[in-house]
Structure 1
Amino acid sequence: MATPLNQSVADSSLLTRSLPVGLLREFVRSEATDDGLTPQLLAELRVLARVPGLLVACNYGGTLCDAEGISTETLPLGNAAIALRALAALPNTHAAVVSGRSLRDLAAVSRLPAEVHLVGSHGAETDMGFAHGLSLATESLLQRVNTELAEAVGFQQGIWLERKPVAVAVHTRPATPEVAAEVTEIARDIARTHGLFFIVDGSVLDLSVTEPAKAEALESLRSRLGVSAAMFAGDAYSDELAIATLRGPDMGIRVGPGETAAAHRLGDPESFARVLAILFELRRAWLFGEDAVGLERHSMIGNGSSTALVTPDAKICWMSHPLPDSGSLFAHILGGDAAGHFSVEPVKASQVLGQRYVDSTMIVETRWADVTVTDYLEPAPEGITSLVRVLSGTGAARIVFAPRPDYANAPFSMEARGDELHIVGTADPIILFAPGVTFSVSSDGRHSTAVASVNLQDGPVVLTLRCGDTEPVAADPAEETDRRAAVAHHARKWVQELDLPGVKPSLVRRSALVLRSLVHEPTGAVLAAPTTSLPEGIGGTRNWDYRYCWLRDGSMTVNALVDLGSVSEARGFLDWLGRILSNAPGPEWLHPLYSVTGAPLSTEAIIESLPGYAGSRPVRIGNAADHQVQLDVFGPIAELIHSVSEQEGTLDAAHWDLLVQMAAAVLARWHEADHGIWEARMAPRHHVYTKVMCWVTLDRALRTAARHGRQPEPAWESTAAIIRDEVLREGWDESARSYTVAYNSPDLDAAVLHIGLSGLLDVGDPRFLATVAAVERELRVGPTVFRYRYDDGLPGLEGGFHICTTWLIEAYIAVGRTEDAWDLFDQLVNLFGPTGLLPEEYDPGTETHLGNHPQAYSHLGFIRCARLLDGLQKDSMQKDQLQKDLLQKN
């Protein structure tokens, strides 16, 4: 079984949602005076809320509640207690109260739950057993001091004494100012006489055997909890010692009057309670991404070298530059507004009426009642990204341009120069050309944001964002219309030449356009998806970077286009692969994936500053699968060359050479264990799918050689027979009554359906029929099919994989279960997003779409199924026509 969802994240989410957080929201929105809640403080709270690990610590009396004093009089403010508890319940968030009170008294009075760390005696007391470890000499000293204080000041009205583990406290709050001043001087003299530390904490005077240790307590908490930033708030001298240790993104707050090193001051504990509530709301939104738009509802625009995602309300929420795997310019989908976005909305609030692709193009239109936004990426020279946004209608629109280069980690400034906005301080030039638009630019010190409103009754507004280029863009809207028409014509001309099936032709057309947009035309490489770290499970860690070219995925993608009659993408991909091989030590040493430039990947890294889609961490850059051994990759390449030669009726010498190299790679390494198609981060095994693909490599090489009169290597046929016999013998597991993921394993894997789909095993063989039944029984849930259910060494759950669903549809067709194939196909069709896109996965339990989006696997699998079902329809129609003809003759 797969391992459970990261339990700490799940538990924290449930606990947080169980708290009365609605009270906090109302408290934040209430009209109470915000004494000290400055714009600067609020801005810094937004930054603090986004750190990977956060500690929120504070003093008790005078900070969390009104004042020190008798226990029954000083319960914490209700909202402050709720906020602190709520913060402590969030993932990677800790709360602490560091007080001058004894730990026992602090626990009794504060009534805070175990999630909040309590430290007493000015930082010295961290556990209830602390007092029992004091020496007899210390006890004797404190007893003498207590007696002396009782005799000297105990008779004064409003004065009472308290024995603490390491101190004797003199409480002066009920006393008159004159009495309090006199008692303070007497107590100070007694402390000096006995060599004690004299600590003034509001109205409490501590004569302590230990010096104030709130600084040490804060440092200890930071180290033990492993946090990356801390907030500390206090109102007394001992709190200043802790505040003085703050650095970097930390925040210090002084509550009330007095000298302070803190950057911020609040008037009273109620204002601090409001700060805690605001911080909770900000951090909760950052961690859980509650407003995350369903992945399937995003539309992609692309031009053959760049891609971008658009939300249903016309927000550019993802775009990188200059390469697919370069740093992002907009990463809202992974981090909200702070991660960068380019938004347009009506000034007069209204609901979006709809979003659609302009027919047979990658141009997206988003429409409100009086505003329409048209988005596309226009062709541009290599290294240049050109995004065009056209605003039209009868109303007014608000524009927010908030680029955040390099995953929001690169500081920059912005300058308005006439009709242009220039991003200053980046490696590449970035300019927004906006004729007739007047922007207001603001900055938070690291990043700038430009805002403008435009009246569309005066005519369309054209916004052109150019990255990597300083050439001016024409200001005439009519010229933009011509440019857009040229983009549309180019796409439609390509679509018109496709051989589309009669089954769901509009969705097949859209899927084909998506696959073509994932082809990086300058190099010929093919992206598995245009995004990174969109989760396979909400809140989980299975968040991978798919902005690379897997040899397997790329081959299968362009092969789907070959099946539709477009071969140019396959030729470009094979040329790209040829360049890879020219620099490889041998074909058998090909990596599973490369960047589009052909370079090996850098080390997989984590962007700590981004919370991830719907709070799903970590956000990963790079992919460690680059270092795996995946010996199945030769099969899809051989299949592609076989398909291209069949489609064109000829075999290029370069393609034959590639095929020979793929076969040589199989001969060299087919007998080895590998990591398999799914890149499980486990020890290599003898995967059945891998062995099947090694057989496919040799089988397709033999077929291609026979068709085109080429001479095969003598070892191809004999080795193919050996592989086939071994797979049929070793891949079967009697206990599972199925072919399984690997030799000597009972675990099922949807990929083993290829044992029949590839032709290695006859589809009528009882063993294949049993394998189809086992996959259906164990891995299908409603409209989706899971890859597997076994523990793959990674935490968390995942959804069903759309490509596995398409494999089961193919298997149903192959074994004659036509009605089941149509039924599952129709269920898959129902999962497409409103503009015809599919991400990688689907969770049938929560009805949530998952994984990187849009996913090449999902769309190519759908195209294959539509073509196969179309073939069934045509065969059925031909049989019906033959029967009619026979009846007419008779």
Structure 2
Amino acid sequence: DVATVLAFLLEERRAWLHGDQAVPIERLTMLANERSVALVTPDAKVNWLCHPEPDSAAIFADLLGGPAAGHFSIKPEHGSLPLGQRYLPGTMIVETRWSRLLVTDYLEHDVASHRTDLVRRISGSTNAVITFAPRPEFGQVPVRLLREREGLRVVGTSDPMVLRSPGVDWDITSDGVQETARAVVRPREGAPVLLELRCGTDDISEHAQAESVRRDRAAGYWSDWAAGLHLPKVQTDLVLRSALTLRGLVHKDSGSIMAAATTSLPEELGGVRNWDYRYCWLRDGAMTAAALVSVGSYAEADGFLAWLHGVLETIPGPERLHPLYTLHGTQLGAEAVIESLPGYAGSRPVRVGNLANQQVQLDVFGPVVDLVVQLATARGSLSDADWSMAGAMAEAVSRRWHEPDHGIWEERHAPRHHVYSKVMCWLTIDRTIKLGEQFGRELDPSWVPLRDTIATDVLKNGWNDEVQSFTTAYDGDDLDAASLFVGLSGLIDPTDERFQSTVTAIEAELRSGSTVYRYRRDDGLPGDEGGFHLCAAWMIESYLLTGRRTEAEELFGQIVAAAGPTGLLPEEYDPIAERSLGNHPQAYSHLGLIRCAQLLSQ
């Protein structure tokens, strides 16, 4: 009855708020198909799926609100625990296995751009319970479920949605607002149960191709791509998984690249440091594309640079680039809070949008030029379009490098003269000069003196004698892991005592065992955060540049140990609680892992 249903929902909500049902972040596994992403728990619950785009509202948001926020679950009727979960090697197809039950999940390829098609295949020899609870618009739109001969039709959404499930006998219940479908099925030898969620269409009819053909096509898409990669000898399988994960964050229709697949996974459990990373940051996107170039895949870099050319056409000049855009290259709307969702393990607020869109971040030009350099060097040729892009980034730097900015970490304080941002401005000019020289292009005569001017400015104002380190910014003595780029970029030689001293100072203040924090200063927000896997990767590279290979290998091993059972990494790690934190999977973390494995293989 209604009272029983409400009591059950209240108990589930209580457990969720206390973290009892929050799956450890690193144990979530991503599905991807070149335009959509979804997350699956270790027991085969789809707890995150957005439609029609990855940065749209969620259909299943159990990740951020528990079962009441929507999920699509499959489990054995008699409650045995799963034996394990894995990706099929070299693919983004996921298998979850129990003693007599196997669930195979993938997002279908070769569907229209307005569609998101999730295929779930149940095989084995025991009864399975299916729960289908779509909650469009983060659960803010009530839906009804209509039984049809071939499955279920979701009613009440602006975008059509059906679940093809021939032969499944659904029982539909209501909590007074939302409806949920439940069924018990028993797969037979050679006759698996097929569930096909189709978002963006009302077509519930049988597909023209057999499911096995579509599954093979989905597998082949990834495995064929993976076969062409050049992988290091260190942690080869994990590097491959990182490369596949980065490719899964690429939005092929537009060429943009997501920073992460989720929003609002907390940087501190119960805290407010919850951000939406489902967009394309110029910095993150360029670094991701560069990582893929480094393993032999160039198409993602071409797509990203074409996307960025499109963005540039919408603004007066390159110096007016925003730090991030939607996946289709438009400006973000205002940052907002979904009040109805309690957040992951009760970590409020759940945010959509990102206020950093309005910040000044002058470091973003450097990674774009660095990508152009890596792509041209890998190919042995430089296109006119890519040279034009490098020139645009140099132009942006020449106009704005002297300004204060909000920096790479997007602090919501007044702008400062961040050392990392100045270094990236220097890198922009330096790499553009070297690119032009390498490929015989005409250089702007102002670039060489500008490079020297920026370098002099950093060395004069960024170094602090008292702390014997390059600091966060010109106006203080606080430290920042990003300042390691004074040496990592080549602005000073790694053998320079100032870089050696900076590595030691940042290690002493910001490293905690298996991770490295971004900084320890007051950034205007309450609470704490974990250490960043990307910062740990920078420390590993710094160790190697300063002759400390043993420490580099040790720290790399700790990053590897923090990965989930299917090889995925979120943004952060709490070394005290030994808990992963932040949005997941995070491009930064995986590109850092790839870089370290490559360096350690040399």
Q: Give the equivalent residue in structure 1 for 2:428.
A: 697
Are 1:40 and 2:29 counterparts?
no
Matches within 5 A, 1:412-561: 412-457=143-188, 459-474=191-206, 479-561=210-292
Q: Give the equivalent residue in structure 2 for 1:338.
A: 68
> Is the CA contact 2:515–2:532 (under 8 Å) kept in the aligned structure 1?
yes
**Shift in Å, 1:809:** 0.2
> Is the CA contact 1:397–1:455 (under 8 Å) kept in the aligned structure 2?
yes
Are 1:291 and 2:21 counterparts?
yes
**Shift in Å, 1:334:** 0.6
Amino acid at match of 1:469: T
Are 1:352 and 2:82 counterparts?
yes
CA 1:496–1:473: 2 relative to 1, 3 Å: farther
Identical amino acids, percent of aligned pairs: 54
Q: TM-score, normalised by structure 1?
A: 0.67
Amino acid at match of 1:480: E
Amino acid at match of 2:243: A
> Is the CA contact 1:464–1:473 (under 8 Å) kept in the aligned structure 2?
no
Secondary structure of 2:129's counterpart equals strand
CA distance in 2 between partners of 1:466 and 1:632 (Å): 41
**Shift in Å, 1:44:** 5.2
Secondary structure of 1:830's counterpart equals helix
Matches within 5 A, 1:533-682: 533-682=264-413
> Is the CA contact 2:334–2:354 (under 8 Å) kept in the aligned structure 1?
yes
Q: Give the equivalent residue in structure 1 for 2:502.
A: 771
**Shift in Å, 1:422:** 0.5
**Shift in Å, 1:309:** 0.3
Computing the radius of gyration over CA atoms, which structure comes out larger, 1 or 2?
1
> Is the CA contact 2:151–2:204 (under 8 Å) kept in the aligned structure 1?
no
CA distance in 2 between partners of 1:765 and 1:372 (Å): 57
**Shift in Å, 1:648:** 0.6
What are structure 1's unaligned runs of at least 5 residues?
A: 1-38, 50-280, 872-890
Q: Give the equivalent residue in structure 1 for 2:544.
A: 813
CA 1:856–1:736: 2 relative to 1, 3 Å: same
Secondary structure of 1:316's counterpart equals strand
Q: Deviations over 1:741-782 (max 9, x none)?
A: 000210000000011000001000000000000111110001
**Shift in Å, 1:571:** 0.2
CA distance in 2 between partners of 1:289 and 1:820 (Å): 35
Matches within 5 A, 1:865-884: 865-871=596-602
**Shift in Å, 1:837:** 0.3
**Shift in Å, 1:473:** 4.9
Amino acid at match of 1:341: H
CA distance in 1 between partners of 2:302 and 2:120 (Å): 33
CA distance in 2 between partners of 1:850 and 1:754 (Å): 25
CA distance in 1 between partners of 2:13 and 2:568 (Å): 31
Structure 1 residue ranges, 4+ long, deviating more than 6 angstroms after superposition? none
CA distance in 1 between partners of 2:75 and 2:509 (Å): 47
> Is the CA contact 2:16–2:22 (under 8 Å) kept in the aligned structure 1?
no
**Shift in Å, 1:324:** 1.2
CA 1:538–1:833: 2 relative to 1, 3 Å: same
CA distance in 2 between partners of 1:353 and 1:46 (Å): 28
> Is the CA contact 1:435–1:475 (under 8 Å) kept in the aligned structure 2?
no
Q: Give the equivalent residue in structure 2 for 1:374.
A: 104
> Is the CA contact 1:364–1:374 (under 8 Å) kept in the aligned structure 2?
yes
CA distance in 1 between partners of 2:19 and 2:168 (Å): 32
CA distance in 2 between partners of 1:820 and 1:41 (Å): 59
**Shift in Å, 1:289:** 2.9
> Is the CA contact 2:128–2:184 (under 8 Å) kept in the aligned structure 1?
yes
> Is the CA contact 1:329–1:405 (under 8 Å) kept in the aligned structure 2?
yes
Secondary structure of 2:82's counterpart equals coil
Q: Deviations over 1:299-323 (max 9, x none)?
A: 0010010000000000000000001
* Structure ranking higher in helix proportion: 1
CA distance in 2 between partners of 1:786 and 1:331 (Å): 29
- Higher mean alpha-carbon deviation, 463-472 vs 665-674, is at 463-472
Q: Deviations over 1:775-800 (max 9, x none)?
A: 11110001100000000001110000
> Is the CA contact 1:288–1:616 (under 8 Å) kept in the aligned structure 2?
no
> Is the CA contact 2:6–2:175 (under 8 Å) kept in the aligned structure 1?
no
Are 1:760 and 2:500 counterparts?
no
Secondary structure of 1:456's counterpart equals coil
CA 1:557–1:437: 2 relative to 1, 3 Å: same
Aligned length: 600
CA distance in 2 between partners of 1:727 and 1:632 (Å): 14
Secondary structure of 1:828's counterpart equals helix
CA distance in 1 between partners of 2:2 and 2:160 (Å): 30
Q: Deviations over 1:328-382 (max 9, x none)?
A: 0000011111000000001122111000000000000000011100000011221
Secondary structure of 1:762's counterpart equals coil
Q: Give the equivalent residue in structure 2 for 1:249.
A: none
| Root-mean-square deviation over aligned CA pairs | 1.3
**Shift in Å, 1:45:** 6.1
> Is the CA contact 1:419–1:438 (under 8 Å) kept in the aligned structure 2?
no
Q: Give the equivalent residue in structure 2 for 1:36.
A: none
**Shift in Å, 1:284:** 3.5
Q: Deviations over 1:630-671 (max 9, x none)?
A: 010000000000111001111111111111110000000000
Amino acid at match of 2:15: A
Q: Give the equivalent residue in structure 2 for 1:858.
A: 589
CA distance in 1 between partners of 2:433 and 2:280 (Å): 27
Equivalent residue for 1:321, pick from 47, 51, 57 = 51
**Shift in Å, 1:457:** 2.1
Secondary structure of 1:537's counterpart equals coil
CA distance in 2 between partners of 1:854 and 1:475 (Å): 31
What are structure 2's unaligned runs of at least 5 residues?
A: none
Q: Deviations over 1:248-303 (max 9, x none)?
A: xxxxxxxxxxxxxxxxxxxxxxxxxxxxxxxxx56633432322110001100100
Secondary structure of 2:425's counterpart equals helix
Amino acid at match of 1:461: V
**Shift in Å, 1:486:** 1.2
Q: Give the equivalent residue in structure 2 for 1:273.
A: none
CA distance in 1 between partners of 2:344 and 2:452 (Å): 48
> Is the CA contact 1:556–1:860 (under 8 Å) kept in the aligned structure 2?
yes
Q: Give the equivalent residue in structure 2 for 1:686.
A: 417
CA distance in 1 between partners of 2:548 and 2:510 (Å): 18
**Shift in Å, 1:423:** 0.4
Equivalent residue for 2:38, pick from 282, 303, 308 = 308
> Is the CA contact 2:116–2:198 (under 8 Å) kept in the aligned structure 1?
yes
**Shift in Å, 1:417:** 1.0
Are 1:401 and 2:132 counterparts?
yes
CA distance in 1 between partners of 2:78 and 2:359 (Å): 53
Higher relative contact order (CA 8 A, sep 6+): 2
Are 1:826 and 2:557 counterparts?
yes
CA distance in 2 between partners of 1:748 and 1:506 (Å): 35
